[in-house]
Amino acid sequence: MNPPSDAAVPPVAGTPSLPEVHRSVAVLNAAGFLRKLFAFMGPGYLVAVGYMDPGNWATSLAGGSAFGYTLLAVALTSSLMAILLQALCARIGVATGRDLAQLCRERFPKPVAYPLWLFAEIAICATDLAELIGTAIALELLFGIPLLYGVILTALDAFLILWLQNKGVRWLEALIFGFIVLIFGCFAVQIALSDPEWGAVLRGYIPAASIVKNETQLYIAMGILGATVMPHNLYLHTAVVQSRAWTMDDAGKKEAIKFATIDSTIALSLALLVNSAILITAAATFHTSGNTEVAEIQDAYQLMAPLLGSVLAAKLFAVALLLCGLNATVTATLAGQVVMEGFLRFRLPPVFRRLVTRLIAIIPAVVVTWI
């Protein structure tokens, strides 16, 4: 017997993930293309910050300093993969009215669903570890705050999410978008100061055989790929896309899928530009000066000012890192809520829900930082 199609399986009733923002943004049916696009823009940027978190910085710095612009092709390929995956997530969220965690819980047997939940939590903890420590490093570089205290300070983002979500999801999206614009501006200045060879930059987006033949290049390329495609973003996107109140008929769903896909594609294209900017800056600053083993963020910060002849470059580097880390920890907290609620149907008041999901990620980070 053939399994039933998705069309034959009605959505299971229940409380949606992120209930405080579910279908909270109105979509005007009579509005023109640009006004409708503006109504749907936002969830893509919440997802995009996961593709430019501090975990990407280490791999991009290592790739740029060691091999120049060669690994830009890997950044492009991984971003194209991310655009496809997030477009599929938007389609799933709109078409089913459920997020990915809920669908896994509802459509898989428990011996499959619970291991999937465990793997999702481990992925979020591992991702959040890099984000928290990266943000703590930025705080240390800018203000001299010790790493352990920086990690604990960064964990307070749960209260920022609560405050902004009480005002509406558009406030949270506006904050994230504003940080992305500032990050882009920081790297625009750094690229101008580093003065890369633009012909070599463009050639770097063409895949080279050395990426596969050279073991070190292949190793760093796998790191770039792994740091770019984030599992928790798949769960998050299927939930946050449902913050828009589109018409629930077939035509309304098709339109919602179209605009949600445009939103995520534009946002992930910006993430590609940021990731490329990190690698280009590393290549133009470190590789061309013979510093081919710069893989640590602190080392890059210390070397940037003397090599570029400007303290501003190093400060902007740390500011961009701080903003990337804050952005990514906010969305990782939301992803943790989606995963926990969807798989475990774990319902608590919003304050306790945020604290529980935050503690799951923060405890490993504090332990690792302390060690």
Ordered DSSP codes for 135-183: HHHHHHHHH---HHHHHHHHTTHHHHHHHHHHH-HHHHHHHHHHHHHHH
Predicted local distance difference test score (pLDDT) of residue 20: 80
Q: What is the pTM of this model?
A: 0.87
| Residue 22 within any structural domain of the chain | no
| Residue 220 within any structural domain of the chain | yes
| Residue 157 within any structural domain of the chain | yes
Give the whole-angstrom CA distance, residue 291 versus residue 275. 20
| Residue 6 within any structural domain of the chain | no
Q: Please tell me the number of Cα atoms within 13 Å of 365 on its side-chain side.
A: 29
- pLDDT value at 370 more than 60: yes
| Residue 207 within any structural domain of the chain | yes
| CATH number (domain holding residue 225) | 1.10.4160.10
Could you tell me which residue, 159 or 328, shows the higher pLDDT?
328
Residues 344-355 have a mean pLDDT of: 69
Gyration radius (Cα) of the chain, Å: 21
Please choose, from the candidates 16, 48, 6, the residue with its C-alpha nearest in 3D space to the C-alpha of residue 266.
48
Comparing 23-37, 155-169, 170-184, which segment has the lowest mean pLDDT? 155-169
Per-residue model confidence as pLDDT tens digits over 7-60: 333 444 467 777 888 888 888 876 788 888 999 999 999 999 888 888 788 888
Tokens 């990514």 sit at which residue? 328
Per-residue model confidence as pLDDT tens digits over 246-300: 988 899 999 999 999 999 999 999 999 998 999 999 999 999 888 888 878 888 8
Phi, psi of 331 (to 5 degrees): -70, -30
Enter the DSSP assignment of 244: E
**Residue 149, domain extent:** 40-370
Percent of the chain with pLDDT over 70: 91
| Residue 325 within any structural domain of the chain | yes
**C-alpha angle with apex 333: 21 to 299, nearest 5 degrees?**
140
| Residue 30 within any structural domain of the chain | no
- pLDDT value at 109 more than 80: yes
Round the average pLDDT of the chain to a whole number and report it: 85
- pLDDT value at 351 more than 70: no
Please choose, from the candidates 271, 227, 290, 296, the residue with its C-alpha nearest in 3D space to the C-alpha of residue 61.
296
Predicted local distance difference test score (pLDDT) of residue 162: 66
Q: Look at residue 245 and give its three-state secondary structure.
A: strand
Q: Are 336 and 120 in contact (CB under 8 A)?
A: no
**Domain count of the fold of the chain:** 1
- pLDDT value at 6 more than 50: no
| Residue 29 within any structural domain of the chain | no
Q: Are 308 and 282 in contact (CB under 8 A)?
A: no
